[in-house]
Amino acid sequence: EDKVVQSPLSLVVHEGDTVTLNCSYEVTNFRSLLWYKQEKKAPTFLFMLTSSGIEKKSGRLSSILDKKELFSILNITATQTGDSAIYLCAVGVTSLGGSNYKLTFGKGTLLTVNP
């Protein structure tokens, strides 16, 4: 059974702090690792990583994948109250034969940024 484990489950920080969110996985037929941000409604896409060691960056957010150790981290620098959300990690796998693709999600990390 595919497993995606995120840590910590929740985190409370002050504005301006830097946070690191963790995601480890144990899956068959890995294809990609994705990060999503979920506020009150639907998850919204942040990053997709497929190669080890290549950092993806968007503003204050960045992420990197280690396919040897089977984990990824999401960093947020200079946090703002608007960063408060659930951050979801998902791993994309293909079926045997590679004809089908699905995402398995971790339970998420609830980040609260206080002013």
Nearest to 47 by CA among 34, 65, 60, 58: 34
Q: How far is the CB of 85 from other proteins (least distance, A)?
A: 14
The answer for residues whose C-beta is within 8 angstroms of residue 97's C-beta and 6 or more apart is: none
Residues 5-64 that bind other proteins (CB under 8 A): 31-32, 34, 41-45, 48, 50
Phi-psi label, residue 78: left if phi above 0, alpha if psi -120 to 50, beta otherwise: left
Q: How far is the CB of 19 from other proteins (least distance, A)?
A: 20
Q: Name the residue nearer to other proteins (CB basis): 3 or 14.
A: 3
Sole binder of other proteins in the list 22, 62, 75, 104 (CB under 8 A): 104
Q: Is the dihedral of CA 95, 97, 101, 104 positive or negative?
A: positive
Binding residues vs other proteins (CB under 8 A):
31-32, 34, 41-45, 48, 50, 88, 92, 94-95, 99-108
